[in-house]
Structure 1
Amino acid sequence: MYTSRAHLPMIPLVLMAGFLGAGKTRFLSEIIPALGQRGLRSRVILNDFQNANIDAARLGQLDALVTPLNGECVCCGSLRELLQTLYDIPAESGSVMLIEANGATETDELLGHLSTDGRLKHFTLPLQLTVVDAARWQKRWWHNALERAQVATATHVYLNWTERLGAPRQALVGKQLGEVNARAARVTPESFADVLADTLRAPGASADAGIRREDAALPRTSVAPHRHPFASLVLALPESVDRSAFLRFVQTLPEAVVRAKGLVRFRDTPGAMFVWHRVPGRQTVRLDRSWPHDDANPTALFIGVAMPIADLQGAVDALG
């Protein structure tokens, strides 16, 4: 373990941002083991619309302290709960705090709170890691501005899903990211784990001295509450469903659903539970075996704008 050089150790604080479906939880599943290899303990706060237990289930086997934070975006409706969670975390050496914000978070406002709150003195000033879906970068219609804004405040950027792209598309995305934010360093889970380890090794890495990253350029503004354009809906799935019927259901969701995910059990494998998720523009439904909390039940979570709630409820009922 790395130890502080003064009385009270500071915990590196990382805000993880990225549009819906960019791959933030996937990044977490890779960086947590990488931090462990460097002798660092991961603390994780997962924020999501109404049911953060879904993503917490995906991290169930990793050596991390995971706190689900259900509700609205941590930049507005769930901000108080987020801050209280951070206040309650003890100052300890050799740990890292990772906050996975949901995909609709406006990072500039949240960074303002994390940077100015005097009760967070046991944390470093925040770094922001933004995960970018290279295949869908700036292909989100009226949500393009939010995606750019999440990059504009980043100190570090991880370009995800590049294996799906040719060299010209990768070059174009890289060029556009540089135009939005030329300061952000491009990282991988491994290299970002090195960044956090180096932060803890830095001289004065304690609450007595404080740490400021010169490349952060974080806003320090007071922000009024606001409403997001996104809405969410959580529906209970049957205890088990036919696999083929469920996959058809997910693949034919209406375009108004920006993001869909949840927990599901199939009749052909009744003893297993899976995290499922789908992002518009992708034909397949991803299934990941999960080890959920004891109170986790089969669930469908939908995020979008002007969603046809009655139609979604009817489609879920038909799965029974």
Structure 2
Amino acid sequence: MIPLVLMAGFLGAGKTRLLTQLVPALAALGIRTRIVLNDFQNARVDAARLGALEALVTPLNGECICCGSLRELLQTLYDVPPDPGSVMLIEANGATETDELLAHLTTDGQLRHFTLPLQLTVVDAARWQKRWWHNGLERAQMSTATHVHLNWTERVSTTRLEAVRASLSVENSRAAYVDATAFARALHELSCAVAVDVRLGGRSAMGNSGLPPAATARPRDERAAHTHPFGSATLPLPALVSRHAFEQWVQALPPSVVRAKGLVRFADDPGPMYVWHRVPGRSRVRLDASWPHADAEPTALFIGVAMSLDVIAEGTARLAVADTGHA
């Protein structure tokens, strides 16, 4: 099983710069590195910067891998052979919506030769939250991180650095701060752990995700025995739900849920089925029209960190009770 890492960060944060330090650190520990490098036009340029390193680099030009280039990314991952003692690093371009991409990486049943993903977010200490209308995207890339690398710290004052750290903690208090050496050691430990797990049969569930194997639509939380912060789960929704109760339930989901979406039908208008999203920072649930397959059922997908599935499931039960007599 191969450790899978999503490397995120806004444009110019220094992701490729960090890779030039991380790959040699991994090599010194005996870990081989594969890299998928995504950018709008210059993926091959950045790939050339990594050419002197001992890494297999696959450039993906075009759109963000969370949307337009997603199929190409997944096919690249599907084609990676089992390679114990290696890691896979995905360097996403600066406009990537990490929650969307993590939803695919954690639920795709063809990625069982990888662990569930870690996310390393690179933050430019000098420019954090100075992106004008892109500040929300930068915060979102931080909110899903398991690890964070604070870059360009030598360019800022002590006061600015403390303010940035405080702001990052507001967005995500769980992420561990790492430099290239520390993250290389963490990946080395993970690589050793999952290699042992494969030899023993790979039957252990994730440690602190809060998701038992039976709770997921696909047994994705059996991909690795190591303690892993990310989990994914799908739950069925009642055939018809109270619109008001549903909106209350979605808005009350715990902060550990970083992504929530699915299909829903409402008792007051049972004809159409909507795609619903919980959009962070918005007070209402977003509903989009859909044209589902005939066998599509109302459902909810959750991506989160140390989620309590029991609490979420109790909420769906209350939706069913609300729907028995009222719309």
Once residues 41 and 197 of structure 2 are traced to their aligned partners in structure 1, the CA distance between those partners, rounded to angstroms, is 36
Secondary structure at 2:173 match in 1: coil
> What corresponds to 2:14 in structure 1?
23
| 1:111 counterpart = 2:102 | yes
Q: Between 153-162 and 47-56, report the one with greater CA deviation.
A: 47-56
Q: Between 206-215 and 160-169, report the one with greater CA deviation.
A: 206-215
Q: Is the 8 A contact 1:113 1:222 kept in 2?
A: no
The alpha-carbon deviation at position 200 of structure 1 amounts to 1.4
Once residues 63 and 202 of structure 1 are traced to their aligned partners in structure 2, the CA distance between those partners, rounded to angstroms, is 23
> What corresponds to 1:140 in structure 2?
131
Q: Is the 8 A contact 1:73 1:101 kept in 2?
A: yes
| 1:39 counterpart = 2:30 | yes
User: Which residue, 197, 208, 213 being the options, matches 2:202?
Assistant: 208
The alpha-carbon deviation at position 185 of structure 1 amounts to 0.5
Structural mapping, 1:50-61, within 5 Å? 50-61=41-52
> What corresponds to 2:189 in structure 1?
198
Once residues 229 and 159 of structure 2 are traced to their aligned partners in structure 1, the CA distance between those partners, rounded to angstroms, is 29
> What corresponds to 1:149 in structure 2?
140
Once residues 208 and 73 of structure 1 are traced to their aligned partners in structure 2, the CA distance between those partners, rounded to angstroms, is 33
Q: Is the 8 A contact 1:115 1:220 kept in 2?
A: no
> What corresponds to 2:171 in structure 1?
180
Name whichever structure is richer in helix by fraction.
Answer: 2
Once residues 222 and 91 of structure 1 are traced to their aligned partners in structure 2, the CA distance between those partners, rounded to angstroms, is 32
Highest relative contact order (Cα 8 Å, sep 6+), 1 or 2?
1
Residue identity in the other structure for 1:39 = G
1:65-113 deviation digits (Å, cap 9, x = unpaired): 0000111000000000000000000011110000000000000000000
Secondary structure at 1:195 match in 2: helix
> What corresponds to 1:120 in structure 2?
111
The alpha-carbon deviation at position 221 of structure 1 amounts to 5.5
Residue identity in the other structure for 1:215 = P
User: Which residue, 62, 72, 96 being the options, matches 1:81?
Assistant: 72
**Structure 2 gap ranges (5+):** 204-222, 233-257, 263-274, 276-327
The alpha-carbon deviation at position 117 of structure 1 amounts to 0.3
**Structure 1 gap ranges (5+):** 1-9, 225-320
Structural mapping, 1:143-292, within 5 Å? 143-202=134-193, 204-206=196-198, 208-209=202-203, 210-211=223-224, 213-216=227-230
The alpha-carbon deviation at position 165 of structure 1 amounts to 1.1
1:241-284 deviation digits (Å, cap 9, x = unpaired): xxxxxxxxxxxxxxxxxxxxxxxxxxxxxxxxxxxxxxxxxxxx
Identical aligned pairs, as a percentage?
65
- TM-score normalized by the length of structure 1: 0.64
Once residues 69 and 115 of structure 2 are traced to their aligned partners in structure 1, the CA distance between those partners, rounded to angstroms, is 21
Once residues 22 and 166 of structure 1 are traced to their aligned partners in structure 2, the CA distance between those partners, rounded to angstroms, is 18
- TM-score normalized by the length of structure 2: 0.63
Secondary structure at 1:191 match in 2: helix
Secondary structure at 1:90 match in 2: coil
Aligned-residue CA RMSD in angstroms? Answer: 1.7
Q: Is the 8 A contact 1:29 1:59 kept in 2?
A: yes
Secondary structure at 2:42 match in 1: coil
Are residues 153 and 29 of structure 1, via their aligned partners in 2, closer, same or farther at CA, if it must alter by over 3 Å? same
For this pair of structures, how many residues does the alignment match? 215
Q: Is the 8 A contact 1:75 1:107 kept in 2?
A: yes
